[in-house]
């Protein structure tokens, strides 16, 4: 089974590249944002639980997020692998994901980070904000705060996976096709087909 974690700051192209990766490598794409929205919209028990935290302005605890992910993995027993997008975001989440996968005799195959200069990404998001309707893409201060959170909470995961020889950085600047080609080169060298 192939299990890939896709990292990148907001605007780095994770969503675009996730579509490519899931198609080429036949992976089930697990986006925590999509999973949260699905559970809340469908009024699942986990969705109601997550909503109680969100209503207070709190982050959804790791335990709830992990339960949602486990449920999605369990719904896809025939999957060739999974593409984790937006998870893990902290060391505790990475350790919990490793522990969960170990119960299935699986592990993370590789983590790939789409890297790009903050100023380029800010410009990209502000441009996207003109048409996306997302308020968090229209305010430079909010964008930079998201990068601050990423740098302090998520970036340390790169060291965690590098210590396991599972971390790969990919230049996220260029055309979609150029970035896709770089990603393919990394994954193909790992003999992921």
Q: Give CA 25 to chain center in angstroms.
A: 16
- Residue 193 reports pLDDT greater than 60: no
CATH of the domain at 54: 3.40.50.300
> What is the band of 160 on the pLDDT scale with cuts at 50, 70, 90?
very high
Which residues does 21 contact at the CB level (< 8 Å), separation at least 6? 4, 6, 27, 29, 83, 183, 187
- Residue 192 reports pLDDT greater than 70: no
Structural domain that includes position 175 = 2-189
* Stretch among 75-89, 112-126, 132-146, 173-187 having the lowest mean pLDDT: 132-146
Q: What is the DSSP string of 78-136?
A: T-SEEEEES---SHHHHHHHHHHHHTTT----EEEEEE--HHHHHHHHHHHHHHH--GG
- The average pLDDT across 41-53 equals 88
The pTM for the full model equals 0.84
Per-residue confidence (pLDDT) for residue 137, from 0 to 100: 80
- The average pLDDT across 46-72 equals 84
Q: Give CA 135 to chain center in angstroms.
A: 20
What is the number of domains present in the chain? 1
Per-residue confidence (pLDDT) for residue 152, from 0 to 100: 83
> What is the band of 53 on the pLDDT scale with cuts at 50, 70, 90?
confident
List the one residue out of 19, 27, 5 whose CA is nearest residue 80: 27
Tell me how crowded residue 74 is: count the other CB atoms within 10 A of its CB.
9
């Amino acid at each position: 089974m192939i299990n890939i974690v896709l990292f990148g700051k907001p605007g780095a192209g994770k969503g675009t590249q996730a579509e490519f990766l899931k198609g080429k490598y036949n992976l089930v794409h697990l986006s925590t944002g999509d999973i949260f929205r699905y559970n809340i919209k469908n009024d699942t028990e986990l969705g109601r639980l997550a909503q109680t935290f969100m209503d207070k302005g709190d982050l959804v605890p790791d335990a709830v997020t992990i339960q949602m992910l486990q449920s999605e993995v369990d719904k896809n027993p025939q999957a060739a692998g999974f593409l984790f997008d937006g998870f893990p975001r902290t060391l505790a989440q990475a350790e919990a994901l490793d522990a969960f996968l170990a119960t299935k005799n699986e592990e993370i195959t590789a983590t790939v980070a789409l890297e790009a200069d903050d100023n380029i990404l800010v410009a990209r998001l502000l441009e996207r904000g003109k048409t996306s309707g997302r308020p968090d893409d229209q305010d430079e201060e909010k964008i930079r705060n998201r990068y601050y959170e990423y740098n302090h909470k998520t970036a340390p995961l790169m060291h965690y996976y590098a210590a396991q020889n599972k971390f790969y950085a990919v230049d996220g600047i260029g055309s979609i096709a150029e970035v896709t080609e770089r990603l393919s080169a990394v994954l193909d060298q790992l003999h992921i087909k």
